[in-house]
Amino acid sequence: LYVKTHIKLGDILFDDFKHLMALETTNTNTSSGESVSNITSDTQNWSFLIHGSASINSLTIDSTDFEGFNVNRLHINDMSALFKLTDSSYIVDQFKLKVFEGEMNNSLHYKVRDDGTQSVSTHNIIHDVNIRTLLRDMDNFGMDSVITYENISGIFSTDINTFVPIDDSILINKMLVSGDITLEKGGVYDFPPAQEISKFTSIKELDNIQFKTLRSNIFMFKNKLYVPRTNIVSNAIDIAAFGMQSMINDSEYHLEVHLSNLLFGKSKKRNKKQEESGEEIDEESLKKSSQKLKYTSTEGKTKVGKGSKESREIMMNKIRVQKKMLDFIFFPKNIHYNTDLD
């Protein structure tokens, strides 16, 4: 079967289709055992190729639950994509849309191998998304125990690659992620880890941090998210941080804090200088006159204290080794999202 198509749709209100989904669920649940037994298991001796483009003017989804995942509000505009579907792979490229006050350009490659295993590869480029709007409208992605839209604000951008293997279900512990993230003109508010550090350092401003720019190159390997050395320039304090966050909420972060910030707080003169000149953290000054801190969370128990040279070196070496292992098996540039015919 060969199909070439170009699909154009106008404004879609998802609420208009909710009743159809309910009917489908009812029909599935009430189907008889006899009808199921009549389904043959004969192998299909044909293949298909469907390719083309699709565009939607707007899509509105309000207060909807997708198998336990809640969407509070989702308004998407100017959606368009190229696609190529076959019996062994689904490819979507240049999937562009405007959402959460920003823009996205995504690519996806779903593949079924001869042994029955499956995988999904994605490349996501996001520009100027309001992270608070994103978390609020998507119900914090179910991560309320980690962070909510009330704890963070800012303009979020990223260029990130992901590989997700699938067996009977998604194998989260084998997921691979690598990419750059940027958060600008934002803040962190009433965030428990920051509050713990605030108590330890006696810097009250950490309960309400306003930062200019946060840039980091993150990666995920063996069910753990790693954050290499990242500079954070804020109104309250200048910090260099690195560490690890596991998917079971255990974490370990190391911080270098300007000693003058700890003793006197960050001066208005320093803030003004960084704002006017775009100056980032002075690495040499930070290395010579900084307090080393360590934040850990294990099985729900948190601890803030002074970080030893040994523990810092162990974490830095772990990040380097895990990144090399990831780079040895994960090659995003070799994953193609081409929808042209071969």
In tens, the pLDDT along 143-176 reads 776 788 999 999 999 999 999 998 877 888 899 9
Q: How confident is the model at residue 236 (pLDDT cuts 50, 70, 90)?
A: low
**Residue 284: is its pLDDT beyond 60?**
no
Task: Give me the percent of the chain exceeding a pLDDT of 70.
Answer: 80
Select from 241, 244, 217 the least CA-distant residue to 231.
241
pLDDT, mean of residues 244-270: 70
- Rounded to two decimals, the pTM is 0.82
**Residue 24: is its pLDDT beyond 70?**
no
Euclidean distance between CA atoms 214 and 134, whole angstroms = 18
Per the prediction, the chain carries an average pLDDT of 82
17 Cβ neighbours under 8 A, 6+ residues apart: none
- How is residue 76 written in tokens? 């998407």
Q: Of 119-123, 273-277, 317-321, 327-331, which range is least confident?
A: 273-277
What digits encode the pLDDT tens for the residues 61-110? 887 776 666 788 889 999 999 999 998 999 999 999 999 999 999 999 99
pLDDT at res. 34: 47
What digits encode the pLDDT tens for the residues 46-60? 789 999 999 999 999
* Helices of type H across 161-290: 192-201, 259-264, 268-277, 283-288
Q: What share of the chain is helix, strand, coil (3-state, %, to 5)?
A: 30, 50, 25
Q: How confident is the model at residue 116 (pLDDT cuts 50, 70, 90)?
A: confident
pLDDT at res. 176: 96
